[in-house]
Amino acid sequence: MIFAKEICKSFIAIVFLSLYATIKAQSVGELISGYSGNMKWNDLTKTVTFLTSGDVVFPEKGVKSFIWVIPTSVTNVVIKKDVRVNAVFHSHADVCIEGEDRKTSVVYGTELQSWPQKHRVVEYTICTFQNFGGTMTIKNLTSLNPRGFHVRGWGTTMMVSYCDFLDTRGGHGNHSDGVEGGDGSVFDNCYFETGDDIFKVYFDILVTNCTIKMVQNTVPIQLGWGSYSDRKTGTFRNLKRGAVDNAIINGRRGKYNVTVNIDGCDIDNPNAVWVALNETTTGLKCNVPNAKINVKSHTGQFMNGKYELNICGFDTQLNQYNCINK
């Protein structure tokens, strides 16, 4: 897990070379042939609609046979109510992927624990929704038990709203990270009950009205596993979290200073620490003017970085604050 997440900028070229085999888009015709369920194509609206549950399989892709690289001719993907699609969606241009029903329009992965390790695949190459260019919009659906991360847009714009991101296998070892997006990405009204890093402040992002249930291995706010997040800002509004005992805000490795602004924060997690910065080269400026916080301790044994805080108007490290709506 540590190796996979320590992606520094010098490795980007290597990453894209490793993705070369999956970059070629599969046409709508190829998708129709490779999907075990029923679907339709509307050439006028450039919309693919999954009508019944099924699996996407492109045998020529081998172990990554489930990845559909969306052609630029497709601008909309719709998943009907009560439909579960076993697939991964990767894009290189503007596209909107939308469910008809948030709870029953499902993009599914696998029940197998630790799928990437067992198949010798790097987890960030098989994210359920992955954007390589343009803006990817995802709304009103559930992402369940992904093989890799749920959502990844390294340096590209992700607009994600009214979605549930779930790992019912138990979060540890599955690399079922939440969402990542480039500058200007917005994540709104989403629910997370999944493992690993939920919101990655690797770029300037906005998170509003989201709820996290901290299951095994969940870290709500991750500042970085490398130096790529330096001088980035995560802005959070109306954030709710609870359960389990990890750090709420975590900076693992690298050389960076990140700003986290949270306006509206309701956290009741008596087993957790508020912040952990593992290395002396990591830094955090944290501003929380409107909060109700109950944690075990403010910092823990992994507090080695530089830390500036202003929570409820205090720069004192407490385990409880209450200035909600004041």
Quickly count helices (H) and strands (E) in the chain: 5, 26
For residue 231, how many other CB atoms are within 10 A of its CB?
A: 9
What is the spatial distance between Cα 39 and Cα 325, in angstroms, rounded to a whole number? 48
Q: How far is CA 65 from the centre of its chain?
A: 22
pLDDT at position 9: 36
221 burial class (0-12, 13-18, 19+ CB within 10 angstroms)? buried
Question: Which of 253, 240, 130, 234 shows the shortest CA–CA distance to 190?
Answer: 240
Question: Which architecture characterizes domain 2-322 according to CATH?
Answer: 3 Solenoid (2.160)
Give per-residue pLDDT as tens, 312-323. 999 999 999 999
Mean pLDDT of the chain: 92
| Average pLDDT estimate for 62-81 | 98
Mean pLDDT for the stretch of residues 197-207: 97
Res 304 pLDDT > 90: yes
Q: What is the dihedral of CA 118, 121, 124, 128, to 10 degrees?
A: -70
Q: Residue ranges per domain, the chain? A: 2-322
> Do 251 and 272 touch, CB atoms closer than 8 A?
no
Query: What is the rounded distance in angstroms from the CA atom of residue 85 to the CA atom of residue 51?
Result: 10
Give the model's pLDDT for residue 301.
79
Tens of pLDDT, residue by residue over 232-269, are 999 999 999 877 778 999 999 999 999 999 999 999 99
Write the pLDDT tens digit of every residue in 113-148: 999 999 999 999 999 999 999 999 999 999 999 999
Tell me, what's the pLDDT at 19? 44
Please compute the mean of the pLDDT values over residues 271-283 and round it to a whole number.
95
CB 142 within 8 A of CB 166: yes
3-state secondary structure labels for all residues of 133-155: CCEEEEECCEEECCCCCCEECCC
DSSP assignment of 57-101, as one string? --GGGGGGTTEEE--TT--EEEE-TTEEEE-EEEESS-EEEEESS
Sign of CA dihedral 163, 246, 222, 116: negative
pLDDT band at 171 (very low <50, low <70, confident <90, very high): low
pLDDT in tens, 18-28: 444 347 999 99
Task: Note the residue count of the chain.
Answer: 326
Token pair for residue 92? Answer: 């290189």
Which pTM was predicted? 0.91
Q: What is the mean pLDDT of residues 86-98?
A: 98
Q: What share of the chain is helix, strand, coil (3-state, %, to 5)?
A: 15, 50, 40
Two tokens, residue 76? 């909309």
pLDDT number for residue 213:
93
Separation between Cα atoms, residue 48 and residue 46, nearest integer Å:
7
Q: Are strands 88-91 and 67-69 parallel, antiparallel or unpaired?
A: parallel
